[in-house]
Structure 1
């Protein structure tokens, strides 16, 4: 374990058994496919309803999906930074979204975060790939962050006031903002601090979303406490409504093991109260989550005790035991976006440590007494005024230049700076968060070239914005036309998209990949307009144009079934590859197509033989549903039970 130390901050590596992330999915994310917010039910204030309607995006374009992983894990060394003092040891993984992976309390010998040595990639984030455990930073829109599995720009910063800070930052492409997280652990401190800063360099408001999510170990006796009697609740099937967590559907939901199914409780904390949420096990130990005033929301999430919830936890953390999550966010719930004004900078400080609650009070029947005791204990752990007083220094320190770079994030910050300079638009002060040319890769090079006046000859990556559309429109070649059509499609200008795709398909000498993607884009736009037969024919043409593109094949088979042509789906599925990450899903799709085409016995044989889909979506209960259909009367195997209810 090679490492270099600086005070209580050590640069090292950690060995985790994980699958490779695999290649990015090459298909641009153009369809309107993000789940719209839940409908809002009784007792929910109009302010919350309005912010739930605001800022909803159709998709995560220009990001590409990360679904090239399998479930074949192998040990690998990952860069890690350890912050340590006499009370805590904190391990951070900068190459996996900057996640705090371990928070070890030396006095009790307990890990305050759910952590394990074999995290399994699964389809739970906005870009699919995600893994359970630790404490993660989520920005952009509802869901786990686009940067969940990406390396962040990472550096060590020595501040004039004597802090040794671990700084991580990135340019977030969905909202076109810059975020940074500064983590430090003072000597003898019982809490680790994280200062977050968001900057909107745009000359317009931006819908903003941020949630810090901590996975915590779930024991039979773990209870989660926050200073509120009521919450806004959702159980993933019904409206968001005002609920009483301690008396919810006949049980006390603040005890993790009481919830029969997956559930969210967004605590309705009075604006005059200190904002916190804390977990307490049998001994009163557990993670305390404290923050300065701007981080308003506090939440409890449980997987529930149902077969599906248990299956998900085993799928995500094999052998690591059950867990729940406590979370803190900018808005009161995760269904909302806040208005971040043009040019605004927002900052807050978070603190994490062992709450050390009184086990009798925290586990007693009197909720008011439990809250009062927890509040008093957390005030001892870190006085509210002391935490608030840290904010001005954190804001000042946010611009202190890095002393030592450890890791590069993406090159998109470099592209964005060049784009804004070209358009005469403002950009951030990069003193504390430099975007360096060394971070640029072949993903960004074609776009930098376009900004610098070079002819555009295609790109495997995608960009968004009116200025990009103008630059591409001036190029007049099939590659530029395809990207222009894709941008229109992503912002749901279906007529403009179809016109562009058709232009590409009529042109001479178009690259095979571009032609296949143009067929695919036209097919999706036609399906969105209700022209199913024409749309499916275009998708089929796309697969036939580039038969090596597994992602194209998998999508075409899925949509063939969904839009009522199982024969086409089955036909295409016959040409599916026999190895690789997509095999599991394609095998299942073949079974589904057989069932839809009236061949139930053949579908049942495939399911009985065993199907595993590495990128199964959270809450996706399709395998169980198909089993019930083609194997009636037979209990669904536990391996197929992924329903949240």
Structure 2
């Protein structure tokens, strides 16, 4: 049989914002995570769902850094892409951006099946910050958009089950320390992209696991999924069971008919085929189906409210249509984590392709027709057979390498002597970030940062913490040990480690900043402010007139220090910190917002209002954050201008 599937490299040129540096300060504070509910909402849930909602939620981003250095200054920039296509479909994959499928085109009709964002614009939606909209995203780790959204993954050619080629993507997910792979292939003549996914737990203990495939589609559609009920979750953080399709007087399977942003987790009955589709008014669109392990299906809508519209504009450029998301996950809702047993794995197969069916009409009639149509174009048995055919190929070693991810998997493989057939994490991928930890692994000590640079990130897993505890107790080691102990929940020991590190005052600011965060968590804002000011003074002395790596850390520490000082009414000290920040830093939107708070605290309302009138954009404004509205309300009773309205729920 002639195989016509091809994989090739391509370079896209997109209006793209600059990602910038990661935040160099360790993320010690609890996660600002919206997907949490009160115990009262668990009472009526199925027992397994209630248990999984309460199972091992993520409390910290460590060891992953916050990505908040991006801007909104878009300019034409090259983006590496990998294209896999046959005579029916063309999928464009972005290996440097989490392996996102940016486009899926049905070649005979030229129809784009996804919402394809014409720009690359990061925004603060991922667990660790930077995320962008559009395409198909692979979400692993914990509730929310993956920390790999804007990070590279490994990619290579691999033999496909039909004798052709697959595109394999793989990485090491650092929040849960789990390797995973995504295999993409197009059977000859197929209208469906096949996606084999595997998550492995190579450890000697069970690990909480999370996965949702997130598919962006144009929002002018009707979403079909085989369910009569759904679990509704909104920004009020309430989970409630609602009927499908009509809820609260409107058919919510049409995304434009919702006012505010919301999740609808469809309750697909056991034994029913797993699928979800988005169809336009003419009945054309995309369908996603899978083997039964991927049990959950979801619709996310932005809603027609001003906040939802503003976020849609924020994520792309004027004139671009809106989108919604249809998703598929391991659990029924995104509030849940499932347990992956020690030294085990979970895998499944997904299929994506064009779909035509009648979208309008009575719900059950529409579903029955759509499901029958799906069985005609892609029988359920064929999906199961494709999964069985793929499984023997999941361990096949990759051929030509097409992209390189991080070196964190290589470090863990070296440490534990892991054997992970199919997803090699080669020593050649080890880089600068891994160097000090490789030295700790091999020599038992941490080297000092070269050329007086700030300390890098901290590895916090138990095995690395044990190594730090037995390493020579330098100030740098005590700093990293404290971060690891803090992550483990041993805050008292963390404080002692940071205090021991201060005995050598060569570089005090990293430990002082950690102690300041500890003071805030202990509800001691006065002492936190003292330590923040001391830390910032020490950092300024150490950084001197240098820039580069120091610019990012000065901005990050200065931002936290200003907030801490304003919280206790020390406006003069806050102004002192503000004035020592680099002018380019002060001009950034996040710092313009801080300036408004500072001017308000100084009683300079007219000048604070002038900042709003001049205009600013907070590039890293967090999803659901209402700080802009609160500061505006402190200035005036006028309505919040549209450009600043990011509210995702009704005004209280």
Where 1:520 maps in the other structure, the secondary structure is helix
The question of whether the paired residues in 2 share the 8 Å contact of 1:205 and 1:340 is answered with: yes
1:336-485 equivalence runs, <5 A? 336-358=336-358, 362-364=359-361, 366-421=362-417, 427=418, 429-453=419-443, 455-458=445-448, 459-474=455-470, 475-485=472-482
1:23–1:66 contact (8 Å) kept in structure 2: yes
Rounded to whole Å, the distance in 1 between the matches of 2:513 and 2:635 is: 31
Cα offset, 1:34, TM superposition: 3.6
Q: Which residue of 1 aligns with 2:645?
A: 641
State the match for 1:98 in structure 2. Answer: 99
Deviations 1:44-91 (A, max 9, x none): 223212211111121110011111111111212222111222221111
1:579 is paired with a residue whose SS is: helix
> How far has the Cα of 1:21 moved from its partner?
1.2
**What's 2:70 paired with?**
69
- Secondary structure of the 1:460 match is coil
Aligned residues: 624
| Secondary structure of 2:9 counterpart | strand
Q: Is the 8 A contact 1:482 1:518 kept in 2?
A: yes
CA contact (8 A) 1:291 1:387 kept: yes
Match of 2:277 in 1: 278
Instruction: Please say if 1:335 is aligned against 2:331.
Output: no
Q: Decide whether the 8 Å contact of 1:304 with 1:310 is kept in 2.
A: yes
Preserved contact between residue 520 and residue 542 of structure 1 (Cα < 8 Å): yes
The offset of 1:266, in angstroms, is 0.1
The alpha carbon displacement at 1:629 in A equals: 2.3
Give the distance between the partners of 1:397 and 1:129, measured in 2 at CA.
33
Residue of structure 1 equivalent to 2:513: 520
Tell me which of 578, 581, 595 is aligned to 1:576: 581
Match of 2:452? none
Cα separation, 1, equivalents of 2:252 and 2:279: 14
Do 2:231 and 2:239's aligned partners in 1 also have CA atoms closer than 8 Å?
yes
**Take 1:47 and 1:498, find their aligned partners in 2: how far apart are those partners?**
38
Deviation at 1:95, TM superposition (A): 0.9
- 1:489-544 per-residue CA deviation (whole Å, 9 max, x = no partner) reads 22332211111111111225x3x3xx211110000011111111111111111111
Deviation per CA, 1:552-593: give whole Å up to 9, x if none. 111222333456655543442233322149721111012123
- Contact 1:576-1:586 at 8 Å conserved across structures: no
Residues 599-618 of structure 1 correspond to what in structure 2 (within 5 A)?
A: 599-618=604-623
**Alignment partner, residue 451 of structure 2:** none
Alignment partners' CA distance in 1, 2:586 and 2:84: 36
Contact kept, 8 Å, 2:227 with 2:244, in 1: the verdict is no
- Asked whether the 8 Å contact 2:5–2:187 carries over to 1, the reply is no
Residue 259 of structure 2 aligns to a residue in which SS?
A: coil
Asked if structure 2 preserves the Cα contact closer than 8 Å seen for 1:159 and 1:400, the reply is no
How far 1:254 sits from its partner (Å)? 0.4
**Structure 1 residue 244, shift from structure 2 partner:** 1.3
- The answer on whether the counterparts of 2:404 and 2:429 sit within 8 Å (CA) in structure 1 is yes
1:53 corresponds to: 54
Which residue does 1:176 correspond to in 2?
177
Aligned pairs (5 A) from 1:40-439: 41=41, 43-159=44-160, 161-219=162-220, 222-319=221-318, 320-358=320-358, 362-364=359-361, 366-421=362-417, 427=418, 429-439=419-429
Q: What SS does the aligned partner of 1:321 have?
A: coil
Residue segments in structure 2 that go unaligned for 5+ positions in a row: 449-454, 541-549
Rounded Cα–Cα distance in structure 1 between residues aligned with 2:89 and 2:31: 42
Residues 149-158 or 459-468, more deviating: 459-468
CA distance in 2, matches of 1:159, 1:323: 33
Q: SS at 1:16's partner residue? A: strand
Match of 1:424 in 2: none
- Residue aligned with 1:618, SS: coil
1:497-576 aligned at under 5 Å gives the runs 497-508=494-505, 510=506, 512=507, 515-547=508-540, 548=550, 549-562=554-567, 565-576=570-581
Moved more, 380-389 or 331-340: 380-389
Cα deviation digits, residues 470-497 of structure 1 (max 9, x gap): 2222222111111101111223322111
CA distance in 2: counterparts of 1:133 and 1:563, whole angstroms: 42
Question: Per-residue CA shift, 1:16-55, capped at 9, x if unaligned?
Answer: 2211211111111122234261226274223212211111
Distance in structure 1 (CA, Å) of the matches to 2:346 and 2:55: 19
Name the structure 1 match of 2:624.
619
SS in 1 for 2:561: helix
**TM-score of the aligned structures, taking structure 2 as reference length:** 0.93
Asked if 2 retains the 8 angstrom alpha-carbon contact of 1:156 and 1:165, the reply is yes
- CA distance in 2 between partners of 1:178 and 1:562 (Å): 42
Counterparts of 1:146 and 1:288 in 2: how far apart (Å)?
26
Query: Does the 8 A contact of 1:61 with 1:490 survive in 2?
Result: yes
CA contact (8 A) 1:65 1:128 kept: yes
Change (3 A) 1:211 1:437: same
Judge conservation of contact 1:184–1:192 (CA < 8 Å) in 2.
Answer: yes
Aligned partners of 2:489 and 2:614: how far apart in 1?
A: 41
**Closer/same/farther in 2, CA of residues 6 and 470 from structure 1, 3 Å limit:** farther
Query: C-alpha root-mean-square deviation of aligned residues, in Å?
Result: 1.8
CA distance in 1, matches of 2:276, 2:587: 40
After superposing the two structures, state which structure 1 stretch, 107-116 or 406-415, moved more: 107-116
Q: Say if 2:160 and 2:185, in contact at 8 Å, map to a contact too.
A: no
Q: Is the 8 A contact 2:36 2:237 kept in 1?
A: no
Q: Kindly indicate whether the alpha-carbon contact (under 8 Å) linking 1:266 and 1:332 is maintained by their aligned counterparts in 2.
A: yes
Shift of 1:252: 0.9
Structure-2 change in CA distance of 1:447 and 1:313 (3 Å): same
Q: What secondary structure, in the 3-state scheme, does the structure 2 residue paired with 1:452 have?
A: helix
2:612 counterpart SS class: helix
TM-score, normalised via structure 1 length: 0.94
Partner Cα distance (2:430, 2:586) in 1:
28
Structure 1 alignment gaps of length 5 or more: 422-426
